């Protein structure tokens, strides 16, 4: 009876190992197929996201320039430019900060994509 139990356990464990080998092979095939696509999508998404942030920052900076020009014109004509100057300065500072942070990350995506991917995977993993 012990021989039958040992041989049946051996058969079951051999089948389980074969099943695990198949799972590993299918996981390997999936990984080899999907990881390059994931990496490309991560880089494309990062490029678009940070380029959009840079565009928003440039928009703020251009708005600041427009407000400062309006302040100059209002002060010249009506002597009431303080509000435009203060608001323009706040928009300009916000535009500079947004542009600076997004440019740094955009440069990372463009010039160091492996570093960017590792940092993004670190955020996902934990």
Q: Given a cut of 80, is residue 8 above it in pLDDT?
A: no
Please check whether residue 2 lies inside any domain of the structure. no
Q: Given a cut of 80, is residue 75 above it in pLDDT?
A: no
Please check whether residue 16 lies inside any domain of the structure. no
Mean pLDDT over all residues of the chain? 84
**Mean pLDDT throughout 10-28?**
84
Report the distance separating Cα 26 and Cα 32, nearest Å: 10
**How many distinct structural domains can be found in the chain?**
1
The two three-digit tokens of residue 103, written as one number: 């440019």
Q: What is the pLDDT of residues 113-124, one digit of tens each?
A: 999 998 888 888
Report the distance separating Cα 116 and Cα 110, nearest Å: 9
Please check whether residue 90 lies inside any domain of the structure. yes
Report the distance separating Cα 40 and Cα 35, nearest Å: 9
Whether 43 and 117 have beta carbons less than 8 Å apart is answered as: yes
Q: Given a cut of 70, is residue 1 above it in pLDDT?
A: no
User: For residue 82, what pLDDT band results from cuts at 50, 70 and 90?
Assistant: confident
- The residue segments making up the domain with residue 47 are 36-125
Q: Given a cut of 60, is residue 2 above it in pLDDT?
A: no
Report the distance separating Cα 101 and Cα 89, nearest Å: 18
> Does 4 or 43 have the greater pLDDT score?
43
Please check whether residue 22 lies inside any domain of the structure. no
Report the distance separating Cα 35 and Cα 47, nearest Å: 18
The two three-digit tokens of residue 45, written as one number: 């998404």
Would you state the pLDDT for residue 22? 86
- The percentage of residues in the chain with a pLDDT greater than 90, rounded to a whole number, is 22
């Amino acid at each position: 009876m012990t021989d039958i139990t040992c041989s049946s356990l051996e058969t079951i464990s051999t089948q389980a190992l074969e099943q695990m080998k198949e799972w590993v092979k299918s996981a390997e095939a999936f990984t080899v197929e999907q990881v390059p696509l994931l990496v490309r999508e991560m880089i494309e998404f990062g490029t678009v996201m940070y380029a959009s942030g840079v565009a928003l920052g440039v928009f703020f900076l251009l708005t600041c320039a427009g407000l400062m020009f309006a302040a100059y014109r209002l002060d010249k004509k009506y002597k009431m430019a303080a509000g435009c100057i203060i608001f323009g300065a706040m928009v300009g500072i916000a535009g500079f900060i947004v542009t600076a942070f997004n440019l740094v990350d955009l440069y990372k995506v463009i010039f160091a994509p492996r570093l960017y991917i590792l940092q993004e995977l670190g955020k996902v993993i934990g």
